[in-house]
Amino acid sequence: MNILLVGSGGREHALAWKIAQSPRVAALHVAPGNAGTGGLALAGGGHADNVPLEVHDIGGLAAFAGAEAIDLVVVGPEAPLAEGLADRLRADGIATFGPSAAAARLESSKAFSKEFMARCAIPTAQFGAFSDPTQAKAFLDRFAPPYVIKADGLAAGKGVAIAQTRADAEAEIDDMLGGRFGDSSRTVVIEEFMAGEEASFFALLDGETAIPLAAAQDHKRAYDGDRGPNTGGMGAYSPTPALTDAQAGEVMARIVEPTAAGMAAEGAPYRGVLYVGLMMTDEGPKVVEYNVRFGDPECQILMRRMASDVVPYLLASATGGLAALPPVAWDPRPAVTVVMAARGYPGVVETGSIIRNVDKAQALDGVEVFIAGAAREDGKLIATGGRVLNVTAVGDTLEDAVARAYAGVDAIEWPDGFFRLDIAHRALGRAAANA
């Protein structure tokens, strides 16, 4: 098979790493790719290559897929899905892993997704959507603090604020509706605060059938102790004790399968991976938000743990036939990833610093380093973005996996980077309490 993978982050490096292991793959192109994706060795011989096409270049990507006789396009990030890349490719007869623009509204519009959940009786928080600040502020009367304020559209994982006071909530409303996230915050969604522990659950859908993948737990805040601003994710681990097997079955029955049926009934059958952000409340799992792609950095640990060849599942999701495949097999060992980010992230960061000794980290037992925002220039690895490296490890126990991941971090020389020291702290604390 000839495969085109769209994207340039750590998620796409992890996907490329896993796809490259499939004996079914004759060629793997990554557009635009990064320093980790270009040159990946393919199990069947040859190497992956980077293609200088940006994720928003829908016409260019479609033309490349046609000219190169691509059998399957795998779309990594959410933005090109919201812009209709999957629609264009399917119109050209090219199998595509990823939802249509209509189905991608589950992520690209929080107002749409909340209204959809209400129509389908999918458990979630009470909410209201507003473009007028006076009406939005009046809606706060329905809730006690803290207040959850969300930009309606895509904001790179940063469009959510939890305000502890009424004054802070009103300031967030003014700031978002005043244009903090541009068109993405022309509308805001205000939600009831849900107490509980967060978890991420992933499933594959092919328009009719939904099959489970696995659960993980992300760390959204920038600093240790879950402090600081929200980010795209500073680390993750899988599996998580926050979501038991029984609860995973409940998520499939009460959330994922009704989502698949509801989208099909509304004329937007969902094909691709569905990432459900959950709050594990006293009333059971409730949806915090949908994402229409693999999480980043959750994808990195899922690809490390997946024992099955990923390609048949990507293809079946794109074309139908998930029901005919066996359940996905998983390495039972825990996996952990620690994000190394440029100082200043998630705000303004300086690029251009040199990163050394990634190869030393990579050589450690159980460690794999997935590159996100970095490029190679004159043989040197140069930071080019906010989240730069994902140091990922598996271990016999969660403690072992955490230790291996941080050993990898310690091996890397990058004075201009920072990282959290407490990835997986909730699960480790729970294990210590139960010991």
In a domain, 107, yes or no: no
Higher pLDDT, 229 or 319: 319
Determine the pLDDT at residue 435: 64
Are 346 and 388 in contact, with CB atoms under 8 Å apart? no
In a domain, 117, yes or no: no
- Helices 110-119 and 257-265 cross at an angle (nearest 10°) of 100
Determine the pLDDT at residue 304: 98
Determine the pLDDT at residue 432: 73
In a domain, 121, yes or no: no
The residue segments making up the domain with residue 139 are 127-191
pLDDT band of 386, cuts 50, 70, 90: very high
In a domain, 15, yes or no: yes
44 shares its domain with 19: yes
3-class DSSP assignment, residue 146: coil
What DSSP designation does 218 have?
E
Give 359-362 contacts, CB < 8 A, sequence gap 24+. 360/411, 360/412, 361/391, 361/407, 361/408, 361/409, 361/411, 361/412, 362/408
- Burial bucket for residue 249 (CB in 10 Å: 0-12, 13-18, 19+): exposed
- Burial bucket for residue 193 (CB in 10 Å: 0-12, 13-18, 19+): middle
CA pair distance 172, 165, nearest whole angstrom: 11
Residue 105: name the closest of 220, 215, 262, 257 by CA.
Answer: 262
Strand partners, 374: 383
3-class DSSP assignment, residue 51: coil
> Mean per-residue pLDDT for 307-313?
98
302 shares its domain with 236: yes
- For tokens 């004996």, name the residue: 23
Determine the pLDDT at residue 429: 87
Determine the pLDDT at residue 158: 74
293 shares its domain with 386: no
417's CB contacts (< 8 A; 6+ apart) are 340, 341, 342, 343, 353, 355, 383, 388, 389
177 shares its domain with 224: no
Average pLDDT, the chain: 96
pLDDT digits (tens, 9 = 90+) for 19-78: 999 999 999 999 999 999 999 999 999 999 999 999 999 999 999 999 999 999 999 999
Last-in-domain residue among 265, 298, 324: 324
In a domain, 237, yes or no: yes
207 shares its domain with 166: no
202 shares its domain with 318: yes
Residue 211 sits in a domain of what CATH number?
A: 3.30.470.20
133-164 core/surface letters (b: 16 or more CB in 10 A; e: else): eeebbebbeebeeebbbbbbbbbebbbbbbbe
The total number of structural domains in the chain stands at 4
Tokens found for residue 420: 């959290």
Determine the pLDDT at residue 94: 98
The rounded percent of the chain whose pLDDT value lies above 90 is: 93
> Mean per-residue pLDDT for 414-430?
94
Are 226 and 219 in contact, with CB atoms under 8 Å apart? yes
Are 338 and 218 in contact, with CB atoms under 8 Å apart? no
Residue 372 sits in a domain of what CATH number?
A: 3.90.600.10
86 shares its domain with 178: no
Alpha-carbon radius of gyration of the chain: 21
* Lowest mean pLDDT segment, chosen from 113-122, 156-165, 182-191, 265-274: 156-165
Tokens found for residue 391: 């140091």
Tokens found for residue 175: 């700031």
In a domain, 88, yes or no: yes
179 shares its domain with 203: no
CA pair distance 117, 255, nearest whole angstrom: 9
In a domain, 161, yes or no: yes
343 shares its domain with 315: no
What DSSP designation does 420 have?
-
> Mean per-residue pLDDT for 383-406?
97
Residue 290 pLDDT exceeds 70? yes
Residue 16 pLDDT exceeds 90? yes
3-class DSSP assignment, residue 172: helix
311 shares its domain with 214: yes
In a domain, 106, yes or no: no
Determine the pLDDT at residue 434: 75
Torsion, Cα 258 260 261 265, to 10 degrees, reads 130
Neighbour count for residue 428 (Cβ, 10 Å): 15
- Burial bucket for residue 1 (CB in 10 Å: 0-12, 13-18, 19+): middle
75's CB contacts (< 8 A; 6+ apart) are 6, 7, 81, 85, 86, 96, 97, 98, 272, 293
Residue 176 sits in a domain of what CATH number?
A: 3.30.1490.20
pLDDT digits (tens, 9 = 90+) for 73-101: 999 999 999 999 999 999 999 999 999 99
186 shares its domain with 217: no
Give the distance, in angstroms, between the CA of residue 173 and the centroid of all CA atoms in the same chain.
Answer: 26
292 shares its domain with 201: yes
Determine the pLDDT at residue 159: 86
Side by side, the strands of the sheet bearing 72-75 are 49-50, 27-32, 2-7, 72-75, 96-97
| Bridging pattern class, strands 210-218 and 221-223 | unpaired
pLDDT digits (tens, 9 = 90+) for 346-363: 999 999 999 999 999 999
